[in-house]
Amino acid sequence: MTPLLRASRAVNSSKCLRLLPNIGLIPPRIPHIDGHFCSSHGFGTDSRSHSRDTAIDLSLYPPERIRNFSIIAHVDHGKSTLADRLLELTGTIKKGHGQPQYLDKLQVERERGITVKAQTATMFFNHPTPGHSLDPNESHTYLLNLIDTPGHVDFSYEVSRSLAACQGALLVVDAAQGVQAQTVANFYLAFESDLTIIPVINKIDQPTADPDRVKAQLKSMFDLDPDHTLLTSAKTGQGLEHVLPAVIERIPSPPGRSNSPLRMLLLDSYYDEYKGVICHVAVVDGVLRKGDKISSAATGQSYEILDVGIMHPELRPTGILLTGQVGYVVSGMRSTKEARIGDTLYQNKSIVEPLPGFKPAKHMVFSGLYPADGSDFEALNHAIERLTCNDASVSITKESSTALGLGFRCGFLGLLHMDVFHQRLEQEYGAHVISTVPTVPYIFEYSDGSKIEVQNPAALPSNPKSKLTACWEPTVIATIIIPSEYVGPVITLCSDRRGQQLEYTFMDSQRAFMKYRLPLREIVVDFYNELKSITSGYASFDYEDADYQKSDLVKLDILLNGQPVDAMATIVHTLKAQRVGRELVEKLRKFIDRQMFEIIIQAAVGSKIIARETLSAMRKNVLAKCYGGDVTRKKKLLEKQKEGKKRMKRVGSVDIPQEAFHEILKVS
């Protein structure tokens, strides 16, 4: 037993790590005793290179010994499990300690199997230096930054900026399911970012696994060499010993310049009650030290670096970040709204070129949020304020509705983003809300030359003074992968949703690949559910933003006793207005409670009523006290009741239950 190993074990048993001198950053070569994850190049949980009490000297890691990479995959293809195994393999976390999906911090991420927030973890790994040593047994410790990115297009504002901090990506594909829609979308995101892509076929331990078929799909779809594909099982550990060596040998080191002025890319931010805003950054050029003063290219504001370090996997102060390294900074920002994803941070009084590609968040789906109980507005306001501290991408403005009282108009990046926001409101802050019909931003042009962008249909005049001359609506490019036997029903569905077919090919004898241009409005509510239904759950679907296109649109109003309900206004295509209007009034008739007066439910386009339902009044039997007598007395009582009903109808208000809004979501 080496003296270093004996010292390490003695110190670990006595928990006196503070007495150990700094032994440097090249870890001892101790054989792995961790069953599945044995590797002659790795070091395991009993030989962690950097304990919590050992200083980390980042100056030992020049750019050529740094690799920045991400893992991208379709939902449920094993991305988070693979990330867990890599953290265990490098001794960053202990096997069996902590929770599964370690880098997915949010409850909604674990429940849905998706990644919402980009996370970063720094790992250290021993490996022979390729092409730099005559001795094949000589190895060096590499600093590996794993940037776990969201895979769904709704979070592409984080994905694209996170990929900008990487030089390579592991493209993970399920050995049984093969290439799916998000696999295609993620591949092209990485390809357009000029990343080195390493294909990884995961879950090869499954009985239905067919790696050869998946290799053929990767070759035909992306022209990826089957001989360079890694076969793994993140669950059992099979094949994992080849993953990190492939990362080191195939992915290039960061291209930054150490002697240039500081430039950092802001990857993510969140709010901590004790430290304030914590920003995840990638140092592209130069050096960042604690105490430095930096500025934001997006906002122009200046800050002082109060703390700086790496995520290993939690926050580990290092006092410095060097070129090519990824870590965190605490700079005294008061709100995450100051930390814009993709921003360039640089040293005060220096002149630098901002890093390319910074774009503000583009909101494509809008919805009203109101408390289920009108008296809970302040509680909802507090919950939204706390949640937006960690999600600055949501646009929030206060508004009021005649039907629902005080609430908020919220802008989201996409459908899943909106759904996740609602779920986090309920899970994390216990807020119960009513959501109005989701809508998308439209552009309307009038005869006087004016143009307006409409996010809330209630703000669009039903009878404008100027004639409407043109309308534009946003579209998406949808990718759909389905078993071959469902091609017919899917084509019919896309045609019903005003889709334009762009591509139609067969990936193999069993599955078809389709691309459609679809109006975003047509997929906002139930397109994915219907697609899953007609394909028995076997379809995969993803989409990306496309251009606006001209369309024939109208505003559809819902009237209760002649008064428009602003929260139920929506914008629909002219050809669908009558059908949607009829379905809406029929649904409302079922869910609105009867009152002491008659309720007339109407759907209108401008001044034209296109659908109507009547909810009869509840009536008291005013003739019950009449036992015979002149019929004129009975008529008098009935006329008096009728006049009373008219007065009640003029001044009475109609309460719309929460269930009615949920049903309207299904129709719209």
CATH code at position 374: 3.30.70.870
Single-letter amino acid code for the residue at 5: L
Report angle CA 257, 259, 261 to the nearest 5 degrees: 90
Cα end-to-end span (Å), the chain = 71
**Contact residues for 591 (Cβ-Cβ < 8 A; gap 6+):** 657, 659, 660, 663
Please enumerate in sequence order all residues whose Cβ is within 8 A of that of 373, keeping only pairs 6 or more positions apart, or say none: 432
| 75 in a labelled binding site | yes
Residue 76 three-state SS: coil
198 is in an annotated binding site: no
* CA triple 575-579-584, angle to 5 deg: 135
Known binding residue 621? Answer is no
Q: What is the dihedral of CA 395, 397, 403, 406, to 10 degrees?
A: 120
Strand 553-560 relative to strand 570-573: parallel, antiparallel, unpaired? antiparallel
Q: Is 572 annotated as a binding residue?
A: no
- Residue 643 host element (H or E): helix 631-651
On the CB side of 235, CA atoms within 13 Å amount to 11
Report the CATH number that the domain containing residue 307 is assigned in CATH. Answer: 2.40.30.10
- Given 551, 583, 611, the domain boundary residue is 551
Amino acid identity at 413: L
* Predicted pLDDT of residue 417: 82
∠ CA 179-504-499, rounded to 5°: 105
Same domain as 584, residue 564: yes
101 and 177 inside one domain: yes
Looking at the fold, whether 379 and 295 belong to one and the same domain comes out as no
Are the CB atoms for 39 and 88 separated by under 8 Å?
no
CATH number, position 72: 3.40.50.300
Q: pTM for the full model?
A: 0.75
Can you give the residue range of the structural domain that contains 568? Answer: 555-666
Residue 616 covered by a domain: yes
For residues 237 and 93, membership in a common domain is answered with: yes
Residue 150 annotated as binding site: yes
Residue 634 labeled ligand binder: no
Tokens of 654: 């109609």
Query: Quick one: 97 and 202 in the same domain?
Result: yes
Measured from the Cβ of residue 225, the count of other Cβ atoms closer than 10 Å reads: 10
Residue 96 lies inside a defined structural domain of this protein: yes
Cis omega (within 30 of 0) for bond into 313: yes
476 assigned ligand-binding residue:
no
* Residue 93 DSSP code: S
Q: How far apart are CA 663 and CA 668, in angstroms?
A: 9
Statement to judge: residues 87 and 179 lie in one domain: yes
The confidence score (pLDDT) of residue 38 equals 36
Q: In the prediction, which pLDDT does 41 show?
A: 36
**50 carries a ligand binding annotation:** no
- Supply the pLDDT for residue 28: 34
Query: Which residues of the chain carry a pLDDT beneath 50?
Result: 1-53, 132-134, 649-652
Beta bridge partner(s), residue 302:
295
CA dihedral of residues 368, 370, 372, 374 (deg, nearest 10): -150
With CA atoms as reference, report the closest residue to 243 among 87, 133, 426.
87
**Among 477, 501, 482, residue whose Cα is nearest residue 178:** 482
Any binding-site annotation on 151? Answer: yes
In the chain, how many H helices and how many E strands? 15, 31
pLDDT of residue 531: 92
For 494-541, the pLDDT digits (tens) are 999 999 999 999 988 889 999 999 999 998 877 888 998 999 888 888
Cβ–Cβ < 8 Å for 432, 371: yes
Same domain, yes or no: 377 and 526: no
User: In this structure, are 285 and 414 located in the same domain?
Assistant: no
> Which CATH number do you get for residue 484?
3.30.70.240
Q: At 82, is the secondary structure helix, strand, or coil?
A: helix
529 is in an annotated binding site: no
Same domain? 503 vs 619: no
Rounded to an integer, what distance in angstroms lies between the CA atom of residue 275 and that of residue 436?
Answer: 36
Q: How many domains does one find in the chain?
A: 5
Q: Where does a domain end: 292, 316, 347?
A: 347
Q: What is the CATH number of the domain that holds 577?
A: 3.30.70.2570
Tokens read off for 631:
């019929």
Length reported for the chain: 668
With a CB cutoff of 8 Å and minimum separation 6, the contacts of 528 are 415, 541
5 falls within a domain: no
Mark whether 203 and 281 lie in a shared domain.
no
Whole-number Å distance between alpha carbons of 493 and 653: 40
Residues 246 and 308 in one domain: no
74 has binding-site annotation = yes
DSSP string, 453-515: EESSGGGS-SS-SSPEEEEEEEEEEEEEEEEGGGHHHHHHHHHHTT-EEEEEEESSSSEEEEE
Last residue of a domain, one of 250, 285, 306: 250
Same domain, 157 and 212: yes
Residue 330 labeled ligand binder:
no
- Evaluate whether residue 521 is within a structural domain: yes
80 in a known ligand binding site: yes
Annotated binding residue 152: yes
Q: What pLDDT, on a 0 to 100 scale, did the predictor assign at position 65?
A: 93
- Residue 290's pLDDT is 94
- Distance between CA 585 and CA 599 in Å, rounded? 12
Q: Is there a domain that residue 662 lies in?
A: yes
- Is residue 48 one of the residues assigned to a domain? no
Q: Is 368 annotated as a binding residue?
A: no
d(CA 570, CA 457): 5
The answer to whether 438 is a known ligand-binding residue is: no
Tokens 């130069």 correspond to what residue? Answer: 286
Residue 34 lies in a domain: no
* Residue at 508 is within a domain: yes
Q: Is position 113 annotated in a ligand binding site? A: no
CB neighbours of residue 544 within 10 Å:
13
